[in-house]
Amino acid sequence: MNQFKLEPWPQDITDEDIITDLRNIAKSIGSEYLTVKQYEEFGRFDPATAKLRFGTWNKALTRAGLKISHRNSLPRAELFENLERVWMALGRQPRMHEMRKPMSLFSGDVYKKRFGSWRSALETFVKTVDSSPAEIDNYQETDIQRHRTPRNPSLRLKFKVMRRDNFKCKLCGASPALKPGLVLHIDHIKPWIIGGETVMNNLETLCEQCNIGKSDLPMEEE
């Protein structure tokens, strides 16, 4: 029996071959991460092949849907945007162990390594939100209905509105903190289509059910 087996030439290996193997190895070792060293030990192909094919090791992991355990160049803004999304989804301050897929793109350990501790990451995030250049907080109506703001609020503005409203629906009081899976929306008080601006004092937090039941037309007194 021939015990010697040639590895396939890199040009004979498809992208899908590499992606499938990355996923299989990560699953076999029970991890959402996969290091170069681990793949060298258990993988079918040379890690250099994955790097060459996708540009970098981290890009290969991303294509395979795996978490990136280390990124030196990860922008702070990207970390904070992710934290904002998780915070809004939970309707409360996230705990470190909750920072995992599918809710979070980055683990709590990533924040801990970057900021020294999970608490420090949260404090830095809140300070950044509070000190960020304020989008127009208030506005005065004029006879000329001319939009000065885009229809869709930014992620930062959504977070500020939800935090002001205690991450609860303004109509029914529902919150994902009390009902996991509940989806909150940001809605215009004065509809955008009739001149309402996308600013703090014209936005409110509504749950999905209340938002669906609300029309874009202003309510008329009977």
Share of the chain above pLDDT 70, in %: 81
**206 DSSP β-pair partners:** 185
CA distance 197 to 195: 6
Residues 19 and 59 in one domain: yes
* 99 in the same domain as 59: no
Q: Is residue 9 part of a domain?
A: no
Q: Is residue 136 part of a domain?
A: no
Which pLDDT value is given to residue 4?
A: 56
Q: What is the pLDDT of residues 104-156, one digit of tens each?
A: 988 888 898 888 899 999 999 999 888 876 554 444 444 345 667 888 888 88
Q: Are 107 and 121 in contact (CB under 8 A)?
A: no
Residue 205 lies in a domain: yes
- Per-residue pLDDT of 81-91, as tens digits, reads 999 999 999 99
Same domain, 161 and 206: yes
In a domain, 70, yes or no: no
The per-residue pLDDT of the chain, averaged, comes to 82
Looking at the structure, tell me whether residues 210 and 163 fall in a common domain: yes
State residue 9's pLDDT score.
Answer: 54
Q: Are residues 85 and 122 in the same domain?
A: yes
Classify residue 87: in a domain, yes or no: yes
Number of domains present in the structure of the chain: 3
72 or 30: which leads in pLDDT:
30
Q: Which amino acid does the sequence have at 173?
A: G
Asked if residue 76 has pLDDT above 70, the reply is yes
Rounded CA separation 68/44 (Å): 20
- DSSP letter for each residue of 117-159: SHHHHHHHHHHHHHHSPPPP------SS----S-SSPPHHHHH
Q: Which pLDDT value is given to residue 195? A: 80
Structural domain harbouring 107: 76-130
For residue 20, the model assigns a pLDDT of 94
Q: Is residue 137 part of a domain?
A: no
Is residue 159 located within the same domain as residue 209? yes
**Helix-, strand-, coil-residue percentages of the chain, each rounded to 5:** 45, 5, 50
Report CA torsion sign: 149, 153, 159, 165.
positive
Distance of alpha carbon 32 from alpha carbon 105, whole angstroms: 11
Task: Show which of 39, 64, 89 is a domain's final residue.
Answer: 64
- This prediction has a pTM of 0.55
In a domain, 112, yes or no: yes
Within a domain: residue 162? yes
Q: With cut-offs at 50, 70 and 90, classify the pLDDT of residue 3.
A: low
